[in-house]
Amino acid sequence: MTEAAQQNTQPLFNMEKIYVKDLSLEIPNAPQIFLERENPQIDVQLATQAASIDDGVFEVSVTSTVTAKVGEKVMFLIEAKQAGIFQMRNIPAEEMEPILAVMCPNILFPYLREVVSDVAVRAGFAPVLLNPINFDVLYQQQKQQQAQAAAATPATTH
């Protein structure tokens, strides 16, 4: 095998681009909400997504929706989607899903965390520091839920 041919079969993982794909901030009760002295209740929702955009090229995104409330009043709502373009070649098929669901979100999360904190501060609030996320545990839970759902669905026979 020639050296060039051997290089073409080597596994390749490259981060091509990291960017904020979507960002929104809502302060529905401004300016009165700035007079509140209570600490808000913070709710954080997180979602990941991966899609093939070209042969061996994938876009992975991590979306965070942060809702801060004082009582029933929404103090602010921040939704941020941090995305990245990753090139992956010569990686075994069984390894692709964990890379897209765990490794890529782990790379993107610190950027998402910074965006959310920065937007909260720029909006006039205290920084929101997203707790570290174990994407491997989330991935395992998702696989388990899929297996349970598959087991609960009776197979149809003709």
Look at residue 158 and tell me whether its pLDDT is greater than 60. no
Question: Which amino acid does the sequence have at 2?
Answer: T
What is the rounded CA–CA span in Å between residue 99 and residue 139? 10
Task: Answer yes or no: pTM beyond 0.75.
Answer: yes
Most confidently predicted of 5-9, 81-85, 151-155: 81-85
What is the pLDDT at residue 157?
55
CA-nearest of 42, 61, 57 to 135 is 61
The residue ranges of every structural domain in the chain are 12-138
CATH topology of domain 12-138: Bacterial Protein-export protein SecB (3.10.420)
CB atoms within 10 A of CB 118: 14
Q: Please give the distance of CA 136 from its chain centroid, rounded to a whole number.
A: 13
What is the rounded CA–CA span in Å between residue 48 and residue 81? 9
What is the rounded CA–CA span in Å between residue 140 and residue 129? 25
Chain segment 97-130, per-residue pLDDT in tens: 999 999 999 999 999 999 999 999 999 999 999 9
Kindly report the average pLDDT of the chain as a whole number: 92
Q: Per-residue confidence at 143, pLDDT binned at 50, 70, 90?
A: confident
% of the chain exceeding 90 in pLDDT: 80
